[in-house]
């Protein structure tokens, strides 16, 4: 009887691993960035992320962590435990908070001065926690925007 139960769990775990590896990583892109609060030592932003699900099944996101870099310099990091289910072949907007500090802002200002009106490159990376049965999916997206438009 113990061998049958052990065999059942091995088959179940293999099935879960196969399901997780079959899930394609969602596309997470920057939709909006707004200053919420500024103090001398810390700045907080409201960041809206667009999560697109390229999979034939809904993705129940239970949280995420991320980092936003602009022109190869870290602007800040954020986490959220906001739960959202992204429909199969659908998308959802998720608002998260990003924290930065004074030194990062100075680095970004120096970068803006040297860019002279050119588009800024950004890199958004992190991980999506997908309900406890499915684990965590890493993501990374790189894009450009022009702050003067």
Query: Which CATH number characterizes residue 58's domain?
Result: 2.60.40.1820
Does residue 6 lie in a domain region? no
Residue 102 lies in a domain: yes
pTM score of the predicted model: 0.74
Is pLDDT of 143 > 50?
yes
**What's the number of domains the chain is made of?**
1
The confidence score (pLDDT) of residue 119 equals 80
Q: What is the pLDDT of residue 17?
A: 45
**E-only strand ranges, the chain:** 27-38, 42-52, 59-70, 73-80, 84-86, 91-101, 120-130, 135-145
Which pLDDT score, from 0 to 100, does residue 10 have?
A: 47
For residue 7, tell me if it sits in a domain.
no
Give a yes or no: residue 18 inside a domain: no
Q: What is the pLDDT of residue 134?
A: 67
% pLDDT > 90, the chain: 52
Contacts of 13 (CB under 8 A, 6+ apart): none
pLDDT tens across 59-104, in order? 999 999 999 998 888 989 999 999 999 999 999 999 999 999 876 6
CA pair distance 48, 14, nearest whole angstrom: 36
Of the candidate ranges 50-59, 112-121, 123-132, the one whose mean pLDDT is the lowest:
112-121
For residues 102-130, average pLDDT: 76
Domain that holds residue 46: 24-145
Residue-level pLDDT at 114:
63
In a domain, 5, yes or no: no
Is residue 133 in a domain? yes
Q: What is the pLDDT of residue 64?
A: 94
pLDDT greater at residue 114 or residue 55: 55
pLDDT averaged over every residue in the chain: 82
| Domain presence at residue 4 | no
As a residue count, the chain comes to: 149
Q: Is residue 2 in a domain?
A: no
Inform me whether the pLDDT recorded for 22 exceeds 90: no
pLDDT at 18: 46
């Amino acid at each position: 009887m113990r061998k049958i139960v052990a065999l059942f769990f091995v088959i179940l775990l293999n099935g879960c691993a196969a399901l997780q590896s079959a899930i394609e990583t969602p596309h997470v892109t920057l939709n909006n960035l707004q200053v919420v609060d500024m103090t001398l030592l810390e700045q907080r932003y409201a960041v809206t992320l667009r999560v697109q699900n390229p999979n034939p099944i809904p993705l129940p996101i239970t949280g995420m962590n991320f980092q936003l870099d602009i022109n190869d310099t870290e602007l800040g990091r954020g986490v959220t435990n906001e739960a959202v289910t992204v429909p199969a072949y659908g998308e959802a907007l998720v608002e998260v908070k990003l924290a930065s500090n004074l030194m990062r802002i100075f680095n970004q200002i120096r970068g803006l001065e040297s860019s002279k009106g050119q588009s800024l490159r950004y890199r958004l990376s992190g991980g999506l926690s997908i309900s406890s049965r499915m684990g965590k999916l890493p993501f990374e997206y790189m894009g450009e925007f022009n702050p003067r438009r």
